[in-house]
Structure 1
Amino acid sequence: MHPVKIAIASVLKPLKDPRSYYKFALSLRETNKYQINIIGFYSKKETDEELIKFHPLFYKKRNSFARLNVSIRLLKLLRKIRPKSLIVTTYELLPAALLGKCIFRYKLVYDIQENYALNFRLNNSKHILTKQLGSLLIKFIEFSSRPFTDHFIFAEKCYVTEFPKIKNHTVLENKYQGPKINSSRPFKLGPSKLNFLLCGTLAEIYGSMDALLWFDHFHRHFPDSTLKILGHAPLESFRTKLLQHVQNKPYLEFTISSDPISYEEILEAYQSADMVLLPYRQTKNISPKIPSKLYECLALKKAFLFSPNAKWQSLAEKYNAGIAVDFKSNKNYDLIAKSIFSKVFYDNSSVSEAHWLQEKQSFLQVIEHLFTKDQKLY
């Protein structure tokens, strides 16, 4: 019996994206029932693996005119792959995915990783009219495709209330999928040679510059401390701003890239970090969510500093894992340091709820149900 072909498509996510590859693809491969085809951003050549094939879709700068051709490129790839199911991770590919569904007759799943319309409306870098029109266009695309989408996946619990009209959904949060940490020992941190980490996507709204400015002041109080910056800054103007700020500061080690950073590099950076910075600004499109980095910190037993947020505070307190910090304030460094150095981190039981294992079975059931509820596959 041949494995069922499934495709997972994005535009700007790397081929080995933490969600598409590490969570979805590897979970599917474990069943030996599926051949997974990952379609995404080409940052480097990826070698095909057992039951997993990689198909580059886009490799230019995010604002390149070549991005207009991704829908045509997707349809060409779908004609080649002939999947029985397509998981789309961005609204941008929905029109082509719907056309492909009519032609190739596959099951369509929309993995909603962001509230894209809300994000666009809150984007400070765009003109107010552009924001309104862009947000309306995204809503129109998502609304028009809804009747033809077989199932929806929500990456955040808050999307249940943000998309109340969508009933055929499953919540699969961005929990940690990677090497397990066996150590369950509680630990304390001392003021000597404290290594901080800022990683992932670097953006104004994620508080990346707030974190750098905050750490500059912290370092004056604790000159042995260091900060490693390992991230993808997609907006060129902000990337330039970050690079200018970090120059000639030996206590900062930085890799600030125009391309996504591989998940392997991110996980490796966690190993040498004592404390991770989660400086997200508390906007309407961020505060209701649980950052994937927070789950990573919990699963890897890493201490973290986070912007004040009731949901995040609840998780941090449950496992004695983190401390709330106002990254836009240049005060109270002595109190913050006292909290860091007096706290016993992770003195509770294992953090099983932070692991993808809890979500994996639900995901596999979603995919299985797509094919069992209609044995003919159209």
Structure 2
Amino acid sequence: MTTFGFTLHATDGAARTGAIATPRGTIRTPAFMPVGTAGTVKAMLPESVAATGADILLGNTYHLMLRPGAERVARLGGLHAFMHWDKPILTDSGGFQVMSLSGLRKMSEDGVAFRSHIDGSTHMLSPERSMEIQRLLGSDIVMCFDECPALPASEAEVARAMRLSMRWAERSKAAFGDRPGHALFGIMQGGVTRELREESARALTAIGFDGYAVGGLAVGEGQEAMFGVLDYATGFLPEDRPRYLMGVGKPDDIVGAVARGIDMMDCVLPSRSGRTGQAFTRRGVVNIKNARHADDPRPLDEHCSCPACRNYSRAYLHHVFRAQEILSSMLLTWHNLHYFQELMAGMRAAIAEGRFAAWQAAFHAKRAEGDIDPL
């Protein structure tokens, strides 16, 4: 059986390209992971998600433990069989969602007691329970349970949360146990403070993980501050393990993160934007709801090979969005996921060929041009 492993193929500056081997298939890096919160990438069939070029997707521990329940998913053969996705799945720990329930939760050293946002039932999520839920779901990459404070927060509060997360990381590793073919990732915290990030990275590498995430960013600090942290944070992490930036993001955030040594990212943006009539193109974001598209027979992006661009006009996409047809969400989500995967493939090729700086300059220049002129 293939065990979990990471191979670095090439670097160009801080940017890296490689491959993560898992028993369920290879993940080409840099990788973008579509988010399948409740066991589905909204408005997409699993085979359609695979057709966009995705090697892995993300499932959500918090949502799946509440509905339909981790034990039920396990009885039904695990998350891969349940949702008909045979490639790798990464599950988050549930920590981020629980922390955002500020009015419904009570935190202690043990973990977080909270009330379900669905029915008000009470639950306890601890490092041990998070590991158990993720084992029941059967995910290939498991995330440590951590506390992610919302920014802005005082440095003392960020330090307290980070040190608690490091104690929880140790408990997560112990509870994860020995699971050949499955990987456990630690999560670096520390806000925007270099010393705290370094302390967190040292604690995590001392425990030892299969991969390392940079957590606690893209939570309101802004792109400049995020890039400022990534300029040094990736250097604190082992070179021979994948580095995952959680919850990012916009195309220019992704490109900037890869330029700073990140290997994996996830975000709801391509699917959520698709449902609200926003399409990502190489020329920037197109709002299909705008009246300028109503009579436009041209595709969203003439260079895109997704079904939305291949088979439908801007006028039709405008119409189905305005008519609130389900097909609108399906086509725009497919297009956005296709665009994000094309972005990753472009970066992988550019890094491998040692031309990443030129690729990055061309990416920004094309976006600066803006959308094609109206007819």
So what's the TM-score if we normalise by structure 2? 0.30
Q: Which has the larger radius of gyration?
A: 1
Larger RCO: 1 or 2 (CA < 8 Å, sep 6+): 2
So what's the TM-score if we normalise by structure 1? 0.30
